[in-house]
Amino acid sequence: MNYKYWIGLSSIEQIGSSFILKLYEHFEDIEKVFNANRTDLSKIEGLSVKKAETFLKKRDEINLDKVYDKVVSNGIKFYTYEDKNYPSMLREISDPPAVLYYKGKLEECNLERVVGFVGSRHCTRNGCEAVKKIISELKGTDICIASGLAAGIDTAAHTAALDNGIKTIGVIASGFDYIYPTSNKKLYEQIENGGGAVVTEYYPSFEPLRFRFPQRNRIVSGLSKGVVVAEAALKSGALITANLTLEQGRELMCIPGLITNPNTEGIYKLLKDGASLVTSGEDILNTLNWEITLTKNNKNNSYDDLDIDEKKILYTINIEPKTFDEIEAETKINTDKLLELLTIMELKGFITQTADNRYKKE
């Protein structure tokens, strides 16, 4: 079975996908790649002797049945580069994964309409709320959201997708023996149990080492027709992904933020360099030329049904969440009536209360 050779090669930490696919391109048969000898490897242009020797040494240590069993016995599914169902967008990039491992239901994700979301791990509340707002406006579509399952913007993107019934793909920088960060364990489970799929190019035992995070970024952008960047400092992983997005010929989009926030310096640089500005779900559709009719977020009431005081409240919290006292001071609505209106508007789904007792627009 050819699968065992793909998995066996993928289990060698000292070589990567580019090495495996370089040999596959030469031999055109993965079994021949696995069984190559020194003479065979010496005929491959540009392959260093040291790399070849490392490969041969580690290859000889592999028990194919054992490494293959570790994958299947843990419920891990996979596509190899030669599989017909391997994601076509990913196949187009210069350094695609040799094997794409996954848990969940990748087959239920529309891989023709994937949008990537990346950004700071240490994002502001405004940054996370902006991501959630934009993704909520894609509710009811067959769009899929891809991100890196890290803290911050990644978590906000995956959570917003799940909350709105949108499929999501989490691309991790380790094998499935690890969950990183551990605080996202529940999020992993939600995605794997119907929300989409968690994917990785790494064999299950590979740890989430620092150098693997930039490597996994090319998969986030590689799966996507376009990538949205929310909050990125001038030197950040999100900017690495932005550059990969452009190199891969995909659309680059940015969510603007407060100019006083250091995490927006990278955003405004990208915008000045030609990235598309995104403040709504519709902006994403327009940038990607996707003809999809957006439905309202399942609210039973139209904004036209609001009375003047309710519209005052929405106007007051339109930019950022406000406390009860701040809303009262700005709207001049008396305390009892304001309490009543806020309760009604929350029940109708126009507003919601944050953990720090502020009111925000839904």
Query: Do 147 and 180 form a contact (C-beta atoms < 8 A)?
Result: no
So where are the chain's domains?
A: 2-73, 106-288, 303-361
Q: Is the predicted pLDDT of residue 202 greater than 60, yes or no? A: yes
Half-sphere exposure of residue 148: CA atoms within 13 angstroms, side-chain side? 30
DSSP class of 181? S
- The type of residue at 248 is Q
CATH class, range 303-361 = mainly alpha
Contacts of 155 (CB under 8 A, 6+ apart): 149, 184, 187
Model confidence over 268-282: pLDDT tens digits? 999 999 999 999 999
CATH architecture group of domain 106-288: 3-Layer(aba) Sandwich (3.40)
Q: Is the predicted pLDDT of residue 297 greater than 60, yes or no? A: no
Residue whose entry in the numeric block shows the structure tokens 């490392």: 54
Query: Do 262 and 273 form a contact (C-beta atoms < 8 A)?
Result: no
Q: What is the DSSP track for 289-331?
A: T---PPPP-S-SS-GGG--HHHHHHHHHTSSS-EEHHHHHHHH
Q: Is the predicted pLDDT of residue 250 greater than 60, yes or no? A: yes
Task: Kindly report the backbone phi and psi dihedral angles of residue 140, in degrees, each rounded to the nearest multiple of 5, phi listed first.
Answer: 90, 0
pLDDT at residue 295 in the model? 53
pLDDT at residue 299 in the model? 41
Question: 298-307, 316-325, 349-358: which has the minimum mean pLDDT?
Answer: 298-307
Q: Distances in Å between the alpha carbon of 49 and those of 8, 39, 43, 54, 197?
A: 21, 11, 11, 9, 38
pLDDT at residue 302 in the model? 59
Q: Which residues pair with 128 in a beta bridge?
A: none
Q: Is the predicted pLDDT of residue 298 greater than 50, yes or no? A: no
Model confidence over 56-111: pLDDT tens digits? 999 999 999 999 999 999 999 999 999 999 999 999 999 999 999 999 999 999 99
Q: Is the predicted pLDDT of residue 166 greater than 60, yes or no? A: yes
pLDDT at residue 17 in the model? 96
Q: Is the predicted pLDDT of residue 304 greater than 80, yes or no? A: no
Query: Do 135 and 115 form a contact (C-beta atoms < 8 A)?
Result: no
Mean pLDDT of the 166-177 span: 98
Mean pLDDT of the 326-348 span: 87
Q: Is the predicted pLDDT of residue 262 greater than 50, yes or no? A: yes
User: How many separate helices (H) and strands (E) can be counted in the chain?
Assistant: 17, 12
Model confidence over 237-246: pLDDT tens digits? 889 899 999 9
Other Cβ atoms within 10 Å of 251 Cβ, number? 19
Model confidence over 129-163: pLDDT tens digits? 899 999 999 999 999 999 999 999 999 999 999 99
pLDDT at residue 241 in the model? 92
DSSP alpha helices (H): ranges in the chain?
Answer: 2-10, 17-27, 30-34, 38-42, 49-59, 64-72, 88-91, 125-136, 153-163, 185-190, 212-223, 237-247, 265-272, 281-288, 308-316, 324-331, 335-348
